[in-house]
Structure 1
Amino acid sequence: MSGMEYGNLAYLVLLAVVLVFWFFIQNRQSLNKTMQQGAVWGLIFLGVIAAVGLWGDIRQTVQPQQLVMSDTGRVEVPRAPDGHYYLTLAINDAPVRFVVDTGATSMVLTQADAARVGLGEQDVIFYSEAMTANGVVRTAPVRLDDVALGPFHDRNVRAFVNEGEMTKSLLGMDYLSRFARLEINNGRLILER
């Protein structure tokens, strides 16, 4: 923490002490009842803090996940709260979460995801370029040994690693066109082989 942050923290602590002291002085006639009410409000405050801190875990638990039906060759993916569709593929047995991007041509990995699937520095050489909505970025063409979506395995899949900053890897039309059917219906992305 910087000196400014310590100063702000000290100010807030002092303000809280003054407010608590004033509150107890004002309610000294019924101190027992005041303590009970203070405890209730303290527990409410802690509950709100816990809910905010755990919100990501709670949302992940109740959010519908992708459903792979191998007997029918169908994959269903619900639309996420942010309006996008996300697919988790196993690349070289490592799970990678992709945002489905029908406006992208290729499968594009972030540098972190590329490292996680086993692509080393010798595999990722940035010598090509791609035009994106944010302008031109350098990319490294790579080949992925095994890409799996449930029971569907594809070998020697062409992809790119983006040199720029990306929060999620992109799943473009080159991979999606491997499916015989691609449909978006009632907030669900449906893929069939």
Structure 2
Amino acid sequence: MSSWDTGRLVYLGLLGAVLVVWLIVHNRQSLGRTLQQALGWALIFLAMIAVVGLWDDIRRTALPGRAAVASENRIEVPRSPDGHFYLTLLVNDAPVNFMVDTGASAVVLSARDAARAGIDTGTLAYTGRANTANGMVRTAPVRLDRIGLGPVSDRNVRAWVNQGEMDTSLLGMSYLERWGRIEIVGRSLVLER
């Protein structure tokens, strides 16, 4: 928790204490009824905090982003509410979630996703280096036997495993350039071969 978060928490705590004291002083004649109403409002407040805190998870569950296959060689991907495009590809027959990143020169797997795809991350040689928004990270080159998106499948795709922390793997240009056309139309990413 940062110092800003702590300050906000203290402020909200003091504000809540002042409101509680004011309610008790103002309604001391009917204290039982006032406590019932305060408890009701406290439950509503806690429910709103829970909804706000879990909103990203609720949205992903209720409105999952998915790739729609418009034809045999065309994939259309809706933009996620966070502004990015996400795809689930089969990497060595294991589903891996990727963020489409045209700024990444290659396919970059998180260590967790690489292990899910059957790559032994303990034996990899992390000899490469990559500049990221979070600074320099070490990477290991790998070859993916198969990577599939909808009806389209590619073999022997070069990728990198990132030794640093990554929330999601990146689908970079070494894969995207295999498509004949990449276009953003409205709020959708269109890939065609």
TM (norm. structure 1) is: 0.77
Preserved contact between residue 184 and residue 190 of structure 1 (Cα < 8 Å): yes
Q: In structure 2, how many angstroms separate the alpha carbons of the residues matched to 1:84 and 1:38?
A: 42
Q: Does 117-126 or 155-164 show the bigger shift? A: 117-126
Q: Distance in 1 between matches of 2:166 and 2:122?
A: 21
Q: Is the CA contact 2:146–2:157 (under 8 Å) kept in the aligned structure 1? A: yes
The correspondence of residues 90-169 of structure 1 with structure 2, limited to 5 A, is: 90-121=90-121, 124-132=124-132, 136-169=136-169
Q: Are the structure 2 counterparts of residues 82 and 43 from structure 1 closer, same or farther at C-alpha, using a change threshold of 3 Å?
A: same
Per-residue deviation at 1:69? 1.5
Residues 138/22 of structure 1: CA separation in 2 closer, same or farther (3 Å cut): closer
What is the number of residues matched between the two proteins? 183
Q: Give me the TM-score of the superposition, normalised by structure 2.
A: 0.77
What is the CA–CA distance in structure 2 between the aligned matches of 1:151 and 1:25, rounded to whole Å? 69
Amino acid across the alignment from 2:159: A
Measure the CA separation in 1 of the matches of 2:172 and 2:40: 52
CA distance in 2, matches of 1:114, 1:130: 17
Residue number in structure 2 paired with 1:87: 87
Contact residue 70 and residue 151 of structure 1 kept, 8 A: no
3-state DSSP of counterpart to 1:129: strand
- Alpha-carbon distance change, 170 to 28 in structure 1, aligned in 2, over 3 angstroms: same
Give the superposition deviation at 1:108: 1.0
Deviations 1:11-60 (A, max 9, x none): x7xx96x9867754652312343134223212312321331343122221
Q: What per-residue deviation string (whole Å, max 9, x for no partner) do you get for residues 132-177 of structure 1?
A: 5666543211111121112212122111112333332111111112
Q: Based on CA coordinates, which of the two structures has the bigger radius of gyration? A: 1
Cα distance per residue 1:66-98 (max 9 Å; x no partner): 223164422111222332212111112222111
